[in-house]
Copies of this chain bind each other. A is one copy, B any other.
Amino acid sequence: MKVVDTPQKMRELAETLRREEAPLGLVPTMGALHEGHISLIDRATSECGAAVVSIFVNPAQFAAGEDYDTYPRTYHADLEACREMGVACVYAPRANAMYPGGYDTWVDVPGLGAPLCGARRQGHFRGVATVVLKLLAACLPHRAYFGEKDYQQLVLIRRMTRDLDLGVEIVPCPIVREDDGMALSSRNAYLSADERSRARAISAALFDAKKKVAAGERLSAAIIQACVDELEEAGSRVDYVEIVEPATLERVETINGAARMAVAAYIGETRLIDNILLEPDDEA
């Protein structure tokens, strides 16, 4: 397994991998790999001729006051996991190789970046779109794998790659959950035992919403209110609960087709997100 730390060296290697081991797959990560990441990497290594995993905690996507400095970093364990899974290359650039002095180019998807997390995390999706474009440009993959856990990110990156003619297939991968339903996230490491127990309410509230739709409820307002109530009863502070159209992220008032329900909530100081697909033809 190669480990590469600059865009220039990555691109040079990527040109060869793309040509000789097509299709080339990329799994972009911020490290602190958990079973969610492992499922993406597993899919990339099994579907592609070669897989690149990028590990980069991207300062541009953290707003002021967020957890850039404390974000979990488990670099050596991440490398070992990638090696065991047969990854061809880990791309782990330093921040000053990605954003050298005078850096001043930004990619924006204003419509899809505005609602949900975009309304709360100033500049977050500009940072995400920019770094993903840079990773795609350096790694030259045919396919890139993104988890549905960061649903808004997935939708926005898919739009960006289509709009900019990047010719990369964005492959969405299902959320990986703990036995109690909790979505895996590197930020779960922030939770105390008590918080971890309360955090279960987030996925539970989403599964309850799905059941309500299966039982015939169609009004978003009612489903959202029930979800907010459940979260507050569990002692979490709700950031948002919304039901949106899956591709445009526009709010849905009445559930007539597939919709995505998305939640952001604080458990103690830790902000967690989760989401679920709602379908009116779900069976009760």
Contact = CB atoms under 8 A, between A and B. Distances in A.
Interface of A: 7-8, 11, 19, 102-112, 129-130, 133-134, 137-138, 159-160, 163-167, 248
A163 B133 CA distance: 11
Nearest to A18: B15
17 contacts: A8-B167, A11-B167, A19-B19, A104-B112, A104-B159, A105-B109, A105-B129, A105-B159, A106-B107, A106-B109, A106-B110, A107-B164, A108-B108, A130-B164, A137-B164, A137-B167, A138-B165
B104 A105 contact: no
A160 B107 CA distance: 10
A108 B111 contact: no
When all copies of this chain in the complex are counted, the total is: 2
Contact of A164 (B19, B112, B133, B248): B133
Given A8-B165, A104-B159, A138-B167, 4 more contacts: A7-B165, A7-B167, A103-B163, A138-B165
Contacts of A11: 165, 167
Contacts of A163: 103-105
Contact of A107 (B105, B159, B166, B248): B105
Contacts of A129: 105
A105 B105 contact: no
Contacts of A107: 105-108, 164
Contacts of A165: 7-8, 11, 134, 137-138
A245 to B, nearest CB: 12
A167 to B, nearest CB: 5
A129 B108 CA distance: 12
Given A19-B19, A138-B165, A164-B137, A108 B110 contact: no
A108 B103 CA distance: 12
A106 B166 CA distance: 14
A166 B133 CA distance: 9
Among A19, A108, A110, A163, the one with the most B-chain Cβ atoms within 10 Å of its Cβ is: A163
Nearest to A10: B165
B104 A106 contact: no
A164 B110 contact: no
A110 B102 CA distance: 11
A263 B102 CA distance: 25
Contacts of A104: 109-112, 159, 163
Nearest to A104: B111
A134 B164 contact: yes
A105 B167 contact: no
Contacts of A111: 104
A164 B108 contact: no
Contacts of A8: 165, 167
